[in-house]
Structure 1
Amino acid sequence: MRAEPHAAAPAAASTVAPAAAPLAGAPFGASTLPAVLDRNAREHPDRVAYREKDLGIWIEYPWQAALEEVTLAAAGFLELGLRPGEGLLIIGDNRPQLYFGMLAATLIRAIPVPVYPDAVPDEVIHIATQGDARFALAEDQEQVDKLLELRERIPVLERIVYDDPRGLGAYDEPALVACTRVRELGRLRVEREPRFLEGALAQVQPGDVAVLLHSSGTTGLPKGVPLTHANLLAAVANAHRAGYFQEHEEAVAYLPMAWVGDFTFSVAAALALRFTVNLPERQETLLRDLRAVGPTFYFAPPRSWDNLLTAVQVRMEESTRLKRLLYRHFMGFATGLEKARLQGRRPSWLQRLWRGVGELAIYGPLKDQLGLARVQRAFTAGEAIGEDTFLYFRALGVNLKQFYGQTENGALTAAQGDDEVRLETVGRPLPGAELRVDDSGEILVRGPSVFRGYWRNPEATARAVVDGWFHTGDAGYLDERGHLVILGRVEDVVRTQGGTRFVPQYIENRLKFSPYVREAAVVGDRRPYLAAMICIDLQAVGHWAEVRGIAYTSYADLSQKPEVYRLIGQAVARVNGLLPEELRIRRFVNLHKEFDPDDGELTRTRKLRRGLVAERYAPVIEALYGQGDTVDVTARIVYEDGREGELRRTLRVEEVEARRALPA
């Protein structure tokens, strides 16, 4: 199925991207992650591998110390009874002991199974059971309590190892074991077996599963995605050859450990290219810690870049008039310069001179405040990034580029090069990754980084991997220059009542380019026109309202303000201006709440679960196609003590054509 040009592939010069020859042998002098760690400890014993901020102090783990931590943990797990092929559930925020635990599991040929720290109980149970996780490694008391509550529903789970002992001293629970105790047991075993490490390294094979990750689960329970050592090292090697990674990067690990990007960047690439991985004290201190670190490599999803931009704009609104004037002048100048550069025009010497003045006055200090002063490679992926956000950071002097990948091939399929940045594409396929687009418009990938199949799911594997080609489920095309354009999910390509094909995600992403729109769901399958359900961005819209003296009491109250409807209506109208008449959004509603992963409406990677949303918001959708201008909704709410209640709201339904310009 192929959609119209605005939402799917126009005629392209080629549907096949040639792949460079894959690297032969072990690309980094070793063929497994523990072997690469051992290499680093021998060749660079004193270079810092991981650095953690704890109680305001940075604690460093050089490569030699990291290898010792991993070795002792591996030996300790064996002493406690963890065996090859069994799962080690990992739950918590980014902490060195959790990374060491994952590597320790691979050293004894067990399988690390990370899970999102905020995953709902059913997700934890499904992932732990599917991964045969007899052991769990938890960050702290919060995660321990969660696992203890769920233990009866996870019959395979026997031991819970914890890192942070605070609050756990009084627990009388035989299943609990401290990380310090695991290391003690490991040390005793290593003393008995002086060649323990050497023997363990010899047993690990490139084809062993290095991590069991899970798909986003947009249409059901997440599928297990086993990635081998060979898969991960091939993915890193491909990206390294394309200039995506360099050796000795300073990186920050703050994204969920259950996400493929974190494992690929903070473990596989960090080991292979000897990164220094910095771990913030808490998620809340990320921006402050980011500035202290000064990373050279930084990845953030589009929403994080949007949040950074919003924070800057809010702070500038609160600054002095002179600072606001200087900021607007220099940022406007730099944005225009970047637009021209992306179109192939070179700046004049006078423009370069003025750009240098702006670097001293505005750009440099602002990058320093954001912790981006030393970033040489900045990337974004996961969904489309707004043009304004993308241009802003590139104008600021951040070398921000887009890339594309899947869990099933180590997150790395295509990426933009330094001299080939284009707003509408995600770049060329990486060396070693072969890519083509089939007759239905689906993107297919083949290469050594691609997994062999889903965990214990032969039916899903048979559908996804055919003749070595992984069917990504994404719709797209290769343009005349061989750059990949992503349109959305193939399964989401639908038709209006008039027969026009479209990809809802394509339109939703463009709606979310507005800083005032956090999430959107576009509907119109077999309907006479398109409509949209909008979730406003509370921070951005809240600040906008406060500046204009618009009082509100809650998210729901703010979303229904007439002024906010006019504001969102303008954002919808701007997107309509990019679409053909038959695919313009005719009516929209501001929802009373955000789509929430805890409510099942989004995956943990913030992908829309369309089936559930369509079912849950069926009355709202019907109202969008009815004659009325309001709809009554009932929302189920869960209080902190576990009690449930209902919240009734009346939502306005608005015609886009009725929008009037709102004064600036």
Structure 2
Amino acid sequence: MREFTTPAPAGPPAAGGLADSLYDTAERSPALVQLTRRADRARRAATGDAWQDITAADFRDQVLALAKGLLTRGVRYGDRVALMSRTRYEWTLFDYALWSIGAISVPVYPTAAAEQVRWILAETQAVACLVEDEDHAMTVGAVCDALPDLTGIWQLDRDCVEAIVEDGHGVPDSLVHRQRLGVTTDTVATVVYTSGTTGRPKGCLITHGALAAAADALLDGWGEALRDTGGHPPCTVLFLPLAHVYGRMVQIASIRGGFRIGHVAEVSTDALLPALAALRPTFLLVVPYVLDKVFQQTRRTAEEAGRGELLEQARQVAVDWAAAREQRTFGHGPGPGTALRLRHLAYERTVYQRLRTVFGGRVRALMCGGSTLDRELGLFFAGIGFQLFEGYGLTETSAAVTGNPPGRSKIGSVGRPVPGATVAIADDGEVWVRGPGVFGGYLNHPRCTAESLFEGWFGTGDLGSLDEDGYLTITGRKKDIIVTSSGKNLAPAALEVRVESHPLVSQCLVVGDDRPYVAALITLDPAALAHWLKRRGRGQADPWTVLADEDLHAEVQRAVAAANTAVSRAESIRAFRLLPREFGVEQGLMTPSLKLRRAAIVEYYAADIEELYAP
């Protein structure tokens, strides 16, 4: 077994619970702005401000008041409370209020179906559920009869925070502090459910110590890189789901590190761009999907303005420049040549600077994870002036367990182990990890826990390789390996990512188990398809009619052919099927964290797959 370790930072490990850092910061720096939230109607009417700053002292007082109200509502040390909401300020408020009294938060995706909600709330024996609106309340209410432990549903758009705080007015602060001081690093902080790509999701028991270790590893390894070079206080905008451990870890790291946080509930340009312009973050956490959408929208806008060729030239220069710098960093080349440097400087003034303003103008660091990032897309964003830190982690590792270190990124890899972690590659290629961020096991699933954890090691189920510098590259999932009828084994992820790099393609799923050759199901990006049709002087048409278009089929065929150049003929895609709509969460074909449910897709499109292999 090949392994690589990054030493833990010097100093004593974290002690106590996650809420302690909040109270410590408020005592030490009460005026520090910790959060910026959407202003309420009264404030907007009085001042015209859309956002309101919350200092460390203000946040502590609000958390303390809510914690006292939760005690009055019957929430006790060790009780589990579900949070079913999009990403918003109140999520962070409830997290820290629950942790202040030793209670356990249970994230539930706001898009979860009633049966998923019933399963999670029943298994965790949740005593209450925070919901965002009437739709969520109805979803929970539909399964209440099967939840004997559930005593309350609290609705944010019905001012539940104010009502709970009002209930706690007579409770002394000391009662909350006694509960808080009883929390240790071994106390469970949250039960986060896995995405469930291959079956029913399992609840991961994640302790205060594991989340603190993951957050502190981020601060220790990347803290300085997340600060703005112009001296502005570090700030981020959280727009990815806080129901996912990735977003929660950055939330915790920001509170512990004194960074400012703003929340945006939707990953849409209408919601996100005004927030980025107003808050001007210094770093962002993103998934490859977001970077791809930003670039494709930029490409379409440029083409509509007649500047498509200019953007393509600037893109290629950025990619070449970033690749040359990376080669120099690792001693494999001299770096960008004079001509390349001059061209890059010219595009910096005319193209790259404008592209960076899309993110607010101050962002210098992008932390990317969640799925595989196309190397050329990563090089592009590195080449236009961002520090791109691609990392890797799972719910079971409290988010990131590897990351590309500042100044030494290998784009296309997911970096080296974070401080205090070890990564190993087993004989069959599976990635095993060890470190303080590894979870404590699955709730009510001792057999699954025993199969996944061994003497401190966690078997991730992912396949990967370690290079001579300790950088990890993920090549696929063990469960996703395709074995053709001729006995050829292949991991489909890399091939899929290459096909998806084409502007028209939204998703690609490779199939071929027990089949004579490899084939693919491909969906198209609706906005890209509309743009493609418009540039050819054609309006929108019935999806099935468009998909039969010979020119469109030929365009996608070129994307498939380009992807096939990276693999052997036995591994290449021989046939593909264009589908009339994207795989979606609502169909049960994707997880809430936007991962494909392969088995569900294969079953759903069984007839289409059969046609791919028809004589």
Q: TM-score with structure 2 length normalisation? A: 0.92
- Counting only pairs closer than 5 Å after superposition, residues 315-334 of structure 1 correspond to structure 2 as 315-319=301-305, 321=306, 327-334=311-318
The 8 Å contact of residues 485 and 515 in structure 2, kept in 1 or not, is answered as: yes
The 8 Å contact of residues 115 and 257 in structure 1, kept in 2 or not, is answered as: no
Partner residue, 1:336: 320
Q: 1:184 aligns with which of 137, 144, 166?
A: 166
1:407 aligns with 2:385: no
Counterparts of 1:282 and 1:614, CA distance in 2: 29
Partner residue, 1:295: 281
Q: CA RMSD in A?
A: 2.1
- C-alpha change, 1:278 and 1:541, in structure 2 (3 Å) is same
Counterparts of 1:479 and 1:269, CA distance in 2: 29
Counterparts of 1:63 and 1:252, CA distance in 2: 17
Question: What is the identity, as a one-letter code, of the residue corresponding to 2:257?
Answer: L
Shift of 1:159: 0.7
Partner residue, 2:255: 271
What are the superposed Cα offsets for residues 557-590 of structure 1, whole Å, 9 maximum, x if unpaired? Answer: 4333322211111111111111101111111101
The number of residue pairs the alignment matches comes to 594
Shift of 1:228: 0.8
Partner residue, 1:310: 296
What are the superposed Cα offsets for residues 535-570 of structure 1, whole Å, 9 maximum, x if unpaired? Answer: 111111221121112333344443333222111111
Counterparts of 1:350 and 1:575, CA distance in 2: 30
Q: Secondary structure of the equivalent of 1:59?
A: strand
Partner residue, 1:250: 235
The 8 Å contact of residues 37 and 51 in structure 2, kept in 1 or not, is answered as: yes
Q: 1:230 aligns with which of 209, 221, 232?
A: 209
Q: 2:363 aligns with which of 375, 383, 386?
A: 375
- C-alpha change, 1:372 and 1:154, in structure 2 (3 Å) is same
Shift of 1:348: 4.5
What are the superposed Cα offsets for residues 286-309 of structure 1, whole Å, 9 maximum, x if unpaired? Answer: 122112222111111111101101
Shift of 1:194: 4.4
Shift of 1:144: 2.5
The 8 Å contact of residues 280 and 360 in structure 2, kept in 1 or not, is answered as: yes
Q: Which runs of 5+ in 1 are unaligned?
A: 1-13, 166-176, 628-664
Q: TM-score with structure 1 length normalisation? A: 0.85
Counterparts of 2:341 and 2:396, CA distance in 1: 43
Counterparts of 2:586 and 2:425, CA distance in 1: 35
The 8 Å contact of residues 238 and 284 in structure 2, kept in 1 or not, is answered as: no
The 8 Å contact of residues 98 and 139 in structure 1, kept in 2 or not, is answered as: no
1:365 aligns with 2:365: no
The 8 Å contact of residues 482 and 511 in structure 2, kept in 1 or not, is answered as: no
Counterparts of 1:221 and 1:273, CA distance in 2: 35
- Counting only pairs closer than 5 Å after superposition, residues 185-584 of structure 1 correspond to structure 2 as 185-189=167-171, 193-243=172-222, 246=226, 249-266=234-251, 268-280=252-264, 283=267, 284-319=270-305, 321=306, 327-344=311-328, 345-348=334-337, 351-352=340-341, 354-368=343-357, 370-584=358-572
The 8 Å contact of residues 454 and 460 in structure 1, kept in 2 or not, is answered as: yes
The 8 Å contact of residues 187 and 208 in structure 2, kept in 1 or not, is answered as: yes
- Counting only pairs closer than 5 Å after superposition, residues 79-228 of structure 1 correspond to structure 2 as 79-165=72-158, 178-189=160-171, 193-228=172-207
- C-alpha change, 1:362 and 1:20, in structure 2 (3 Å) is same
Q: 1:622 aligns with which of 606, 610, 613?
A: 610
- C-alpha change, 1:101 and 1:532, in structure 2 (3 Å) is same
The 8 Å contact of residues 83 and 130 in structure 2, kept in 1 or not, is answered as: yes
- C-alpha change, 1:378 and 1:601, in structure 2 (3 Å) is same
Greater shift after overlay, 354-363 or 58-67?
Answer: 354-363
What are the superposed Cα offsets for residues 266-285 of structure 1, whole Å, 9 maximum, x if unpaired? Answer: 1x101210110012375541
Q: Secondary structure of the equivalent of 2:179?
A: helix
Q: 1:51 aligns with which of 36, 60, 65?
A: 36
Q: Secondary structure of the equivalent of 1:52?
A: strand
What are the superposed Cα offsets for residues 297-350 of structure 1, whole Å, 9 maximum, x if unpaired? Answer: 11111111011011111211222x4x5565454444333322322332323566
Q: Which runs of 5+ in 2 are unaligned?
A: 228-232, 329-333
Shift of 1:241: 2.5
The 8 Å contact of residues 542 and 558 in structure 1, kept in 2 or not, is answered as: no
Q: Secondary structure of the equivalent of 2:412?
A: coil
Shift of 1:240: 2.4
Counterparts of 1:242 and 1:440, CA distance in 2: 30
Counterparts of 1:575 and 1:347, CA distance in 2: 27
Shift of 1:58: 0.5
Question: What is the identity, as a one-letter code, of the residue corresponding to 1:600?
Answer: G
Question: What is the identity, as a one-letter code, of the residue corresponding to 1:219?
Answer: T
Counterparts of 2:342 and 2:181, CA distance in 1: 58
Counterparts of 2:58 and 2:411, CA distance in 1: 43
- C-alpha change, 1:546 and 1:120, in structure 2 (3 Å) is same
- C-alpha change, 1:50 and 1:559, in structure 2 (3 Å) is farther
The 8 Å contact of residues 281 and 289 in structure 1, kept in 2 or not, is answered as: no
Counterparts of 1:574 and 1:123, CA distance in 2: 40
Question: What is the identity, as a one-letter code, of the residue corresponding to 1:337?
Answer: W
